[in-house]
Structure 1
C-alpha cells in the first residue's frame, strides 16, 4: 500500500469533518506540528497513533487504511468475501506486519477485526487504548506482553488489555497468521 494514501486519507477525513489541525491535536493529545507532518507524509505514525487519530475522527483505523474512502452509510450487516480481501503489506508504518482487513465497509464499528501475518523479528512494542484478542490460525507465535513472554501455538488465543506494551514474532519456518480483534472502549471524542 502506498503510504501517501494513509496521509491523504487523514487529511481528507479531517477536512470532511471541518476540523482544523489544532482541533484534531486537541482531540488526539498530539501536537499540531506532528499531525501536519503526518498529513504531509514527513512522519510515519505507528499503529497506536493511527488509533488515536481514527478515534478523534470517529472512524475505524481500516478507514484510514482504505484506498477509497466512502461516505458513511447505515450498514447493519457487512459481508466481506475472502477473494476480495485486501492485504496491506509491511511498511515503515506497520513494522514487519502484513494486515488483512476484515469488515472494512462496516461503519461505526466498536471492534477492529483483521488478520496479521507476524514478522520474524520484533521491531517495536505497541500500546494503545482498549482490549485485544488474538487467535493463532497458523504457525507459532512468541508473544511479548509487558515483561512476560508466551509461546502460542495454532489454536491458542489470548485476550488482553492493550495499553500494556505488546508485540509478537513468528517462530519456526512458517509465518504465524493471527486473527486479531481490537475493541476500543474509549474513543478520544469531544
Structure 2
C-alpha cells in the first residue's frame, strides 16, 4: 500500500465512525482492538492487519465495498493488501495426516464467510471424506492430485482449478512422491 491508501484507510474509518455517532471506545470494544490502536489507525500512524481491518469494518456495520467506494484508484499506484507468507496462521481442521493448512485471510459478512487458505498436501496424506457448508474453489499451485468428489474421481495437474459445492463429500488425494501445494477459497454459508 502506498501512503495515500494508508492515509485513506484511517480517515475513512474515522469518517464512518463519526457519521454513525459512535465513540472511539465503542468501536474498539466491538472490534476487539484497543482504543489506542484504533486511534493510531484513524490518525494514519499505523495500518491495521487484515483481520483487524475486517473486525473494524464489521464493528462499523459496513462492508469492504462501501468502505472503498469513495477511494480514487490511481493507475500509477493501485490499492492492494499484501499478506506475507510468514504471516499465514497454521489452522487445525478435521483429523488428518499430511494435511497442513494455513489461513491467509478469513472474514464473515452478513450471509457468507470468505476464507482463503493455503494447503500443503504431503504424499500419501490421509483423512476421511469431508463436507463443507458452502462452495469451494481450489487452485493447484504445484503438484498433481486426485480429487474425489462424491463418486467421481477427478485428476488435477499443476495449474488446474476446480469449483464445486462443498456439501458433496470430497477428499484431496496425493498419490505422488512430492508435496502438492493448493490454494483453497471457501465461500461458507452463515447459518
User: TM-score, normalised to structure 1's length?
Assistant: 0.53
Q: Report the alpha carbon displacement of residue 176 of structure 1 after superposing the two structures with TM.
A: 0.9
Q: How is 1:82-97 mapped onto 2 (pairs within 5 angstroms)?
A: 82-88=85-91, 93-96=94-97, 97=99
Distance 1:140 1:92 in 2: 22
Structure number with greater Rg is 2
Q: Give the aligned partner of residue 164 of structure 2.
A: 160
Which residue is equivalent to 1:80?
83
Whether 1:187 and 2:181 are equivalent positions in the alignment is no
1:78 positional shift: 5.3
Give the 3-state SS of the residue equivalent to 1:73 in structure 2. helix
Q: Distance in 1 between matches of 2:93 and 2:134?
A: 24
Matches within 5 A, 1:103-142: 103-104=105-106, 106=107, 108=109, 110-119=113-122, 120-142=124-146
Q: C-alpha separation between the residues in 1 aligned to 2:96 and 2:126?
A: 9
Contact preservation (8 Å) 1:139, 1:171: no
- Cα distance in 1 between the residues matched to 2:56 and 2:108: 7
Question: Taking structure 1 as reference, are residues 110 and 138 closer, same or farther at Cα in structure 2, changes over 3 Å only?
Answer: same
Please state how far the C-alpha of 1:87 moved relative to its aligned partner.
2.9
Contact 1:79 1:103 in 2 (8 A): no
Contact 2:108/2:114, CA 8 A, preserved across alignment: no
Q: 1:110 to 1:139 in 2, by over 3 A?
A: same
Where structure 2 has 5 or more consecutive residues not aligned to the other structure, the ranges are 1-29, 31-50, 59-63, 65-79
RMSD of aligned Cα (Å): 2.9
Give, in whole Å, the separation in 2 of the partners of 1:102 and 1:137: 15
Query: C-alpha displacement at 1:100, in angstroms?
Result: 1.5
Which is strand-richer, 1 or 2? 2
* Aligned mates of 2:153, 2:126 — CA distance in 1: 12
1:53-68 alignment runs, 5 A limit: none
